[in-house]
Amino acid sequence: MNDFPHTVAGIGVGPANLSLAALMAPLDDAQTVFFEQKPAFSWHPGLLFETAALQTSFLKDLVTAADPTSPYSFVSFLVAKKRFYRFLSANFGSVLRSEFAEYMGWVAERIDALRFGASVRDVTYGDGMFLLRHDKGAVRARHLAVGSGSRPRMPEWVRADEKAACIHSSRFLLSDTDLAGKRVAVVGGGQSGAEIFEHLITKGDGMPSHIAWISRRPNFLPLDESAFTNEWFTPGYVAAFQEVSEQRKQRLLAHQKLASDGISDSTLTGIYRRLYDLHYLQGRPDVAALMPGREVVDMRHEAGGARLTLRNDFSGAVESVPADVVILATGYEWYLPDCLDPLTDRIDVDGDGRLRLDARYRVSWSGPGENRIYAQNAARHSHGVADAQLSLLAWRSAVIVNDIMGRAVYDVGGEIDPIQWTPGLSETAVPAAV
Ligand SMILES: Cc1cc2nc3c(=O)[nH]c(=O)nc-3n(C[C@H](O)[C@H](O)[C@H](O)COP(=O)(O)OP(=O)(O)OC[C@H]3O[C@@H](n4cnc5c(N)ncnc54)[C@H](O)[C@@H]3O)c2cc1C
């Protein structure tokens, strides 16, 4: 075992813990180590389509919101890669996800504290330290940073014996299933479902014989990126959100779905134009069926494939769709990684098994306050819609760094909020009429 006690040890190196590692890196008085089970950094490779674009500004990178002078910013990457002016001239509406993934991989190569190909096996606690056993040894650390992400969500109607006919979207580009000439159903009306549908209808010779795109939502609805909606993705809103009751939080999150899970306008337009092309210019009006407002309620195996039963919320009818392959663009769910099993009876979770986190992203647990567990992207239910996104990555990491170090390493102070979320404005604060 490496007996050297670290200030903080991280589980997982996705964007969240990579951001934390990047903001910890300049600190001489901290020793950090972050473990990642994958052999090298990658970002959702199963959905890294050539044209897929970020749904967030590139300024919301790993570090800039906390430290615009950091050598780990997206702009530093552009300069180092000698593509700064070309990037500006290209005038991208949104940065391609492949370029943002390359940027994060570039940062990962520059931070010494990252250990790839090292899955954390288990974490125990004793003598004022966490002990992390991983594939290549063990380390001790005063604090823990859990950034292990979320896992693919499998709908209840996928029974074990039907799994072979299904591909979760997270594995779409990694799967070697040949879809050419097959009947394919894509289930899920968010960005991943849209990108997969667009990819399938654009394949030319390799196209499936038929593609059904099924969504529970009443239509294929756009991402809301308007100015006041973006206020939900600010530190000020996170602070206000934490103050409201549990019941209100869940109601607010339901209203905010399209701010994080809607489909990019460029993807919707691309799909619409391709369908126009297929219908009128290619003479293939029957190649795809767009089926919003449908809830899949059952999936059965039948000769040569599967059959999905759908409840149509628009007409009230029950429909069925045959498919050789079902693509599940059904999202992800947060989970506590298995390696934390030895600590689970000390970790405080709510009735739905979700962590209880405070404003500094400390997990509530029964251990001493000098040893803290921080969790990233685990607090959508308590801290708001921005939590599982890139938007507040750098700010949240800075909050955690400050708490770990016990001093204001980064300025995480708020800006002027244009919206008054809480009743803070008393009559005396309203300027008198002149
Ligand atoms: C296709 C796609 C596109 C997205 N695009 C955007 C976008 O444009 N804008 C936006 O704001 N958000 C976007 N998101 C949402 C969110 O930003 C990403 O999901 C992001 O990757 C979450 O980062 P993370 O670090 O929390 O988790 P992850 O990226 O899932 O990383 C967690 C890491 O932990 C590792 N790990 C897990 N357990 C262990 C263990 N025991 N030991 C070692 N390592 C472990 C995993 O291998 C993984 O690499 C997107 C999500 C998806 C799926």
Mutate to test the pocket of ligand 1, among 17, 33, 44 (most ligand atoms within 8 A of CB): 44
pLDDT at position 159: 82
Going from the C-alpha of 63 to that of each of 77, 187, 401, the distances in angstroms are 12, 35, 12
Task: Summarize pLDDT for 189-217 with one digit per residue, the tens.
Answer: 999 999 999 999 998 888 999 999 999 99
Q: Are 312 and 319 in contact (CB under 8 A)?
A: yes
Q: Tell me, using a 6 A CB cutoff, whether residue 145 lines ligand 1.
A: no
pLDDT tens track, the chain, 434 positions: 556 799 999 999 999 999 999 999 999 999 999 999 999 999 999 999 999 999 999 999 999 999 999 999 999 999 999 999 999 999 998 999 999 999 999 999 999 999 999 999 999 999 999 999 999 999 999 999 999 999 999 999 998 777 778 999 999 999 999 999 999 999 999 999 999 999 999 988 889 999 999 999 999 999 999 999 999 999 999 999 999 999 999 999 999 999 999 999 999 999 999 999 999 999 999 999 999 999 999 999 888 789 999 999 999 999 999 999 999 999 999 999 999 999 999 999 999 999 999 999 999 999 999 999 999 999 999 999 999 899 999 999 999 999 999 999 999 988 999 999 988 655 666 677 77
178 with 308, same domain?
A: yes
Ligand 1 atom with least separation from CA of 53? 8
Q: Tell me, using a 6 A CB cutoff, whether residue 139 lines ligand 1.
A: no
Is residue 248 a part of any domain in this protein? Answer: no
Q: Tell me, using a 6 A CB cutoff, whether residue 55 lines ligand 1.
A: yes
175 with 313, same domain?
A: yes
Ligand 1 atom with least separation from CA of 376? 26
Relative orientation angle of helices 15-24 and 393-405, to the nearest 10 degrees: 50
**Token pair of 31 as six digits:** 């020793």
What is the C-alpha separation between 259 and 192, in angstroms, rounded? 15
Which of these three, 296, 328, 360, is where a domain ends? 328
Give the Å distance between the CA of 205 and the centre of ligand 1: 33
Tell me the residue range of the domain where 304 lies. 154-223+262-328
Ligand 1 atom with least separation from CA of 60? 11
Q: Tell me, using a 6 A CB cutoff, whether residue 57 lines ligand 1.
A: no
Going from the C-alpha of 102 to that of each of 96, 196, 388, 392, the distances in angstroms are 10, 21, 21, 20
Which of these three, 328, 350, 381, is where a domain ends? 328
pLDDT at position 428: 61
48 with 173, same domain?
A: no
pLDDT at position 1: 59
202 with 318, same domain?
A: yes
Give the Å distance between the CA of 433 and the centre of ligand 1: 51
- Residue type present at position 121: R
Helix or strand run (H / E) with residue 80? helix 74-80
Residue located nearest, by CA, to atom 25 of ligand 1: 14
Is residue 432 a part of any domain in this protein? Answer: no
Q: State phi, psi for 26 to the nearest 5 degrees.
A: -75, -5
CA dihedral 393, 395, 397, 399 (to 10 degrees): -150
286 with 396, same domain?
A: no
Is residue 419 a part of any domain in this protein? Answer: no
What is the C-alpha separation between 14 and 44, in angstroms, rounded? 9
78 with 187, same domain?
A: no
21 with 92, same domain?
A: yes
99 with 46, same domain?
A: yes
Is residue 411 a part of any domain in this protein? Answer: no
Q: Tell me, using a 6 A CB cutoff, whether residue 119 lines ligand 1.
A: yes
Taking alpha carbons only, the member of 173, 158, 146, 156 closest to residue 334 is 146
ipTM associated with this complex: 0.99
Is residue 186 a part of any domain in this protein? Answer: yes
Q: State phi, psi for 250 to the nearest 5 degrees.
A: -65, -35
**Within 10 Å of residue 406's Cβ, how many Cβ atoms?**
7
What is the C-alpha separation between 35 and 391, in angstroms, rounded? 23
Domain count, the chain: 2
59 with 117, same domain?
A: yes
Ligand 1 atom with least separation from CA of 100? 8
Is residue 374 a part of any domain in this protein? Answer: yes
* Residue tagged 């010494």 (tokens): 112
118 with 78, same domain?
A: yes
CA dihedral 107, 109, 111, 117 (to 10 degrees): 120
pLDDT at position 172: 97
The CATH number linked to 19 is 3.50.50.60
308 with 357, same domain?
A: no
136 with 96, same domain?
A: yes
Q: Tell me, using a 6 A CB cutoff, whether residue 11 lines ligand 1.
A: yes
Is residue 252 a part of any domain in this protein? Answer: no
Is residue 56 a part of any domain in this protein? Answer: yes
Q: Tell me, using a 6 A CB cutoff, whether residue 391 lines ligand 1.
A: yes
